[in-house]
Amino acid sequence: MPENLTAPLVVAFPFTRSLGPVQSAFLTGLRERTVLGVRTRDGRVLVPPVEYDPVTAEEIRDLVEVGTTGTVTTWAWNPAPRHRQPLRTPFAWALVRLDGADTALLHALDAPHARAVRTGMRVRIRWAAHREGAITDIACFEPYDGTATATAGATPHGGAFADPVTTLTTPARLDYTYAPGRAQTRYLHALAGRRILGERCPSCRRVCVPPRGACPTCGVATAEHVEVGPRGTVTTFCVVNIKAKGLDIDVPYVYAHIALDGADLALHARIGGIPYDEVRMGMRVEPVWTDDSRHPDHYRPAPEPDAAYDTYKELL
């Protein structure tokens, strides 16, 4: 039994967000060095702001400006900052209640060491040099022993700014190690020898390809390996006329379901070596292998008559 395969799988995508009125005002405000919160009907000031009251579910639209100085309500020391965290040197993750606010905002606090941080300490915003309407417009917080910027509490604010930020792009990335498992690994090793391997279910006797180590219908382990193909029958297909992103195939082309001889379900593959409008259900095909591909590059017509409908209709 060969060693199980693994490979990195990176999933990354730049998601967009429509901000809605409240988050739009909040993030645009940061760009203008203005911190906005919302005032709930019972008078609490929430920073960062939310669109709906977390207690009563009422819609909130009363924006207020709060101070850029505040008090640490709790914190945790981060001794080893990771890539893309706000600071490169060790810092504290801190919840900061800005002057005029009733709730705290999570951000980084730049401090020389953990002993320099305490709950109740006074801090102020250090603005980023380049601001674009994002939470990172606050570079971090820093210790501050001067006077508060908003001793009188929060002041009403219309939330209107020139050129407001209305959408945000939030890149997401997940790094996985993908392991296809024993059955797939065996299948892939067989492919390297240009053989296509299925597994027969000990209960229903049907052959599943690609193999999964278990029968999807009976739920029992499958251990009997069966070579299928190489020839097969086109059970059904479609003609693809629009180019799929990242696929280097000229349209139109035929995307077909192919029941390999000896298999009890159809694989999906491209048909080549024949004009797209001459492909038909029941056509007999064989794989075409290329040196640079693990899987058959495509299937081409095999020199034999079409299969009768009755021979493959159960595989449709």
Q: Which residues bind another protein (CB under 8 A)?
A: 5, 7-9, 11, 13, 15-21, 23, 50-57, 59, 166-167, 170, 172, 178, 180, 184, 188, 201, 204, 206-208, 215-217, 235-242, 244-247, 249, 252, 255-257, 264-265, 268-270, 281, 294-295, 309, 313-314, 316
Min dist CB 176 to another protein, Å, is: 9
Residue nearer to another protein on the CB measure, 72 or 285: 285
- Contact yes or no for 14/171 (Cβ under 8 A): yes
Per the CB < 8 A criterion, the answer to whether 276 and 252 are in contact is: yes
Token code pair at residue 196:
């296509």
Cβ distance to another protein smaller for residue 107 or 200: 200
* Whole-angstrom distance, CA of residue 63 vs CA of residue 156: 6
> CB of residue 5 vs another protein: minimum separation in angstroms?
7
Angle at 21 between CA 19 and CA 26, to 5 degrees: 75
Select 99 or 199, whichever has its Cβ closest to another protein. Answer: 199
By residue count, the chain amounts to 316
Q: Which residues pair with 267 in a beta bridge?
A: 258
Q: Which is nearer to another protein, 85 or 167 (CB)?
A: 167
Alpha helices in 63-217 (DSSP H): 181-192
Q: How far is the CB of 31 from another protein (least distance, A)?
A: 18
Min separation Cβ 187 and another protein, Å: 9
> How far is residue 221's CA from residue 24's CA, in Å, rounded to a whole number?
54
Q: What SS3 class is residue 94? A: strand
The smaller minimum CB distance to another protein, of residues 67 and 211, is found at 211
Q: Which is nearer to another protein, 52 or 304 (CB)?
A: 52
Backbone angles phi, psi at 176, to 5 degrees: -115, 160
Residue 236 Cβ vs another protein, minimum distance, rounded to whole Å: 4
DSSP summary character for residue 261: T
> Shortest Cβ distance from residue 268 to another protein (Å)?
7
* For another protein, the closer CB: 13 or 113: 13
CB atoms within 10 A of CB 93: 15
Q: At its nearest, how many Å lie between another protein and the CB of residue 85?
A: 19
Shortest separation between residue 128's beta carbon and another protein, angstroms: 24
C-alpha 22/C-alpha 29 separation (Å) is 11
Amino acid identity, residue 15?
A: F
- Nearest to 94, CA basis, from 61, 130, 60, 124: 124
Q: Which is nearer to another protein, 11 or 80 (CB)?
A: 11
176: Cβ contacts below 8 Å, ≥ 6 apart: 8, 9, 10, 11
Task: Specify the DSSP class assigned to residue 148.
Answer: -
Residue nearer to another protein on the CB measure, 19 or 72: 19
CB 175 within 8 A of CB 10: yes
Cβ contact 285:271 at 8 Å: yes
Residue 215 C-beta: closest distance to another protein, Å: 8
